[in-house]
Amino acid sequence: MRSSSSSSPPPAYDDARPESADWEAVTVAGVFGTNASGKSNLLDALSFMRDTVRWSMNHGEPGSGIHREPFALDAEAATDPSIFVIDLMLSGVRHTYGFAIDDGQVTEEWLYTYPKRRKRVVFERDGEDFAFGLQHARERAERLPPGSDPSTEVHRLVRAILRD
């Protein structure tokens, strides 16, 4: 999928539903479309994202690059980062997690929560630079032993949140 895709079902978050609405969104998703409209690509992208989060620390060798399949019908896509984002509700709190990768590395990564309808940065990563937004996450990062890889701690946090 070259461009971003989204659907417009009724808002699933209470803060997105008009107060006067007499309906509630159902927490079920369906993927519909004509032949060759990208349904399988969407599911492949979700699987790739899941596998990257769950297994990248176990399967990836430092410096070995990241196997990805850029959009084949645009020559520039091979050099552009691939971006993956998921927005979900966990224990009544909205979370947004995403990352951007190229053939060599994770170029960006972020996790936001939205307690009380306000965006809260859990962490943001730009290349090898990490910024932790929550005080406990900052304190945890500061307690890392010298020489530790902060991405290991970040991936543990993300895996805990996205755990099956």
pLDDT for residue 32: 85
pLDDT at 109: 93
Residue 42 covered by a domain = yes
Closest-CA residue to 160 (of 111, 106, 100, 107): 111
132 CB-contact burial (10 Å; exposed 0-12 / middle 13-18 / buried 19+):
buried
Residue 7 lies in a domain: no
| pLDDT value of residue 98 | 94
76 in a domain, yes or no?
yes
CA distance 100 to 97: 11
Partners of 98 in beta bridges: 85, 110
Does some domain include residue 126? yes
Could you identify the residue written with the tokens 């699933």? 12
- The tens-digit pLDDT sequence of the chain (164 residues) is 555 555 555 555 556 666 676 666 566 677 888 998 888 988 898 899 988 888 776 666 666 778 888 888 888 888 899 999 998 888 888 899 999 999 888 899 999 999 888 888 888 999 888 888 855 555 666 666 666 666 666 666 666 555 53
Phi-psi region of 61 (alpha: psi -120 to 50; beta: other; left: phi over 0): beta
Instruction: Indicate the number of domains in the chain.
Output: 1
Within a domain: 40: yes
**What pLDDT is attached to residue 164?**
38
At residue 153, the pLDDT reads: 60
- Supply the range of the domain harboring residue 96: 14-162
CA distances for 143 relative to 112, 115, 146, angstroms: 22, 26, 9
Residue 50 domain flag: yes
